[in-house]
């Protein structure tokens, strides 16, 4: 059923004549959607100005421009047949590192040997040990009170003074009139005559299309 309706709809579209404007618009959209479309005779016969011709020329490289070297470069014959000097040969040789075969795995060498007891005695570094002691608290230091703590009996049975009760009571806010209108305009404001400058500033700006 759906296929038959679809074919009937296509047949109606194919047989129904289109308006000339609609057909021209469809042809233009089809032409512009393609990478190749016809050029108008006016564009083909147009004469370009010297400035436009000058701008159409592609920009050239700078005279001192050097292109990047390729990854694989050709070594010239002069570099292949060159003979290094004795100094270059000496510098190119790796440094010889002496390996002590007597040192077993896990054994410390003379560079990593333990220091004698005289270097680690407390008498030698008395000042250093004194400075290593952490700084203590002041004798009058009082830590912060915990957020949850028991209330004393004196605080529970205390009677506030009249002044304290007066300060603890909230301020009373009484409405003078119950018929308050927030959007009511003052009559004196309604009779005000605006100046010419205010009237000029109140006019909307005109935008020329």
Non-local (6+) Cβ contacts of 202 within 8 A are 194
Tens of pLDDT, residues 149-193: 898 999 999 999 999 999 999 888 776 667 777 788 888 988 999
Q: What are phi and psi of 156, to 5 degrees?
A: -70, -35
The pTM score is: 0.19
Enumerate residue ranges in the chain where pLDDT < 70: 1-34, 98-124, 175-177, 208-209
Q: Is the dihedral of CA 163, 169, 170, 174 positive or negative?
A: negative
Distances (CA, A) of 80 to 74, 89, 94, 152, 170: 11, 16, 23, 98, 100
Domain total in the chain: 1
**Is 128 among the domain residues?**
yes
**Is 18 among the domain residues?**
no
Give the up-direction half-sphere exposure of residue 88: CA atoms within 13 A in the CB hemisphere. 4
Residue 93's domain comprises 41-202
**Is 191 among the domain residues?**
yes
Non-local (6+) Cβ contacts of 38 within 8 A are 31
Rounded distance, CA 30 to CA 22, Å? 12
Give yes or no for a contact between 194 and 202, defined as CB atoms under 8 angstroms apart: yes
Which pLDDT belongs to residue 159?
Answer: 92
**Is 15 among the domain residues?**
no
**Is 111 among the domain residues?**
yes
């Amino acid at each position: 059923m759906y296929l038959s309706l679809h074919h009937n709809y296509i047949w109606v579209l194919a047989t129904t004549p289109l308006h000339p404007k609609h057909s021209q618009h469809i042809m233009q959209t089809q032409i512009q959607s393609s990478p190749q479309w016809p050029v108008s005779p006016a564009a083909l016969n147009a004469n370009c100005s010297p400035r436009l011709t000058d701008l159409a020329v592609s920009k050239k490289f700078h005279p001192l421009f050097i292109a990047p070297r390729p990854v694989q470069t050709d070594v010239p014959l002069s570099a292949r047949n060159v003979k290094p000097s004795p100094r270059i040969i000496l510098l190119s040789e790796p440094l010889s590192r002496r390996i002590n075969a007597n040192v077993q795995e896990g054994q410390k060498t003379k560079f990593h040997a333990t220091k004698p007891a005289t270097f680690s005695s407390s008498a030698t570094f008395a000042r250093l040990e004194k400075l290593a002691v952490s700084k203590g608290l002041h004798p009058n230091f009082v830590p912060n009170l915990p957020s949850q703590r028991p209330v004393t009996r004196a605080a529970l049975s205390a009677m506030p003074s009249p002044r304290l009760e007066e300060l603890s009571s909230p301020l009373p806010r009484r409405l003078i009139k119950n018929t308050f209108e927030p959007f009511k305009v003052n009559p004196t404001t309604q009779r005000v005559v605006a100046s010419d400058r205010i009237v000029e500033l109140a006019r909307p700006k005109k935008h020329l299309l």
